[in-house]
Amino acid sequence: MKTILRLIVGLLAWSVSWAQTDTTKTNPGALDQLFGRDTTLQTANDVQLKLNMDATYDRPFLSVGKSPVSVGGYLEANTQYMQTDGVTEGLSFQMRRMTIFLASTINRRIKFLTELEFEDGTKEINIEFAALDIELNPMLNLRGGIIMNPIGSFNQNHDGPKWEFIDRPLSSTTIIPSTWSNVGFGIYGKVYRRNWVWAYEGYVTNGFDDRIIVNGENRTWLPATKANEDRFEESFNGVPMVTLKTALKRRRVGEIGISWMGGVFNKFQDDGLVLDKRRHVDVLAIDFNSVLPTKTVINGEWCWASVDVPTTFSQQFGRMQQGGWLDVVHPIVRRRVFGWNTAVLSLALRVERVDYNVGKFTETNDPIFDELWSVVPGISFRPSPTTVIRANYRYLWHTDLLGNPPARTAGFQFGFSTYF
């Protein structure tokens, strides 16, 4: 134990000595540059030193006078026409999200930020983030409150205006249940050296519950936990979930992150009586992003989820899931358009896959399917870096559990998303 403690203290001391001043503090006068980094390929040094974990504070805020509170938010809406094997629900107009940010610098190196989200009108109203950050050192920050678990890249970097696609990535919303936030606390930090940035995050929070295997989806479904309204009040089983992430970025090359989230999801005892063994859920994710010399942005994430499903359950409920996505965004026009000085027209392509049930049937030893493939080409126009107008075409193949001919869904989507 003492050795481990020494090791941790030593590591922190080394990191602090290695740390340099963070040159990436938000400059409100350079919003275009700041928000262009994900999509319009800005190459300024500060942008190149940002990581996915910085997304929470990488947002445009408006401060009035000397008020310590700044306000911001984003909105996304669209229309879509989708068809599955010849059957369509027709044209729909969707108000997917309106999110309001409130941030406050309480004191030097003490700040607060909250994100209040309205989804599908007022169908879902969530506090997705509400945390206090205390910076002891760039390498050691404390964060507590409702935090977004740093698993993969999308969960923390999910704002609509940053993406060229109307739908969120499938694996990042159905395996990793983005936006996945929980009550808890932890630490994070970041160090710089020449062209390198290294960062870490670690949190203990409330976690999943048994809805992930007892739900109306008829499959292992991690997002089902989000329906538990009590999860911000108490842990389902009293065992904290741990989330750890580390990311490394090389300037002009790209960023790679690896993250893990794990904990017990079932109520293994109640009132002092043992009901079951402790059943674990673990999610491992790898994310990466890079900007090629052609200004093409490559961004992707892959994740694996392992769930200890009771043997008394049907194999319909996957013990292992995996999935990921790869986005390629290439700007084809970057110039003044209709009076907008920094307008960008981009072509985009997303390829994604999700396998909700990795394994073989006990009865036949044949593979279990229940998987999706999707291809989403699109075109986007950004009159300014904080606003995107986008048109997507999606083609999706869903193969059922048994591997029967896939149901094919395709359609068109057109919409916008903007910070305000």
Q: Give contact residues for another protein (rule: CB under 8 A).
A: 83-88, 210, 214-218, 266, 275-276, 310, 312-316, 361, 363-364, 366, 369, 393, 395, 400-405, 408-412
Nearer to another protein, 145 or 377 (CB): 377
Tokens, residue 52:
């996915």
Cα–Cα distance, 163 to 35 (Å, whole number) = 11
Q: CB neighbours of 75 closer than 8 A, spacing ≥ 6? A: 97, 98, 99, 160, 417, 418, 420
Cα–Cα distance, 17 to 24 (Å, whole number) = 19
Closest approach of Cβ 241 to another protein, in Å? 20
Nearer to another protein, 105 or 215 (CB): 215
Nearer to another protein, 59 or 350 (CB): 350
Cα–Cα distance, 333 to 347 (Å, whole number) = 10
Closest approach of Cβ 275 to another protein, in Å? 7
Closest approach of Cβ 220 to another protein, in Å? 12
Closest approach of Cβ 400 to another protein, in Å? 6
Nearer to another protein, 291 or 309 (CB): 309
Q: CB neighbours of 348 closer than 8 A, spacing ≥ 6? A: 164, 165, 327, 328, 329, 330, 376, 377, 378, 379, 380, 390, 392
Closest approach of Cβ 361 to another protein, in Å? 5
The three-state secondary structure class of 172 is helix
Are 146 and 129 contacting, i.e. CB atoms less than 8 angstroms apart? yes
Phi, psi values for residue 416, rounded to 5°: -140, 160
Tokens, residue 387:
């606003």
Count the helix, strand and coil residues of the chain and give each as a percent rounded to the nearest 5: 15, 50, 35
Nearer to another protein, 354 or 401 (CB): 401
Closest approach of Cβ 114 to another protein, in Å? 32
CA dihedral 111, 159, 59, 194 (to 10 degrees): 90
Nearer to another protein, 361 or 416 (CB): 361
Nearer to another protein, 234 or 366 (CB): 366
Cα–Cα distance, 337 to 119 (Å, whole number) = 32
Closest approach of Cβ 334 to another protein, in Å? 19
Nearer to another protein, 4 or 273 (CB): 273
Closest approach of Cβ 273 to another protein, in Å? 11
DSSP 70-90: EEEEEEEEEEEEEEETTEEEE
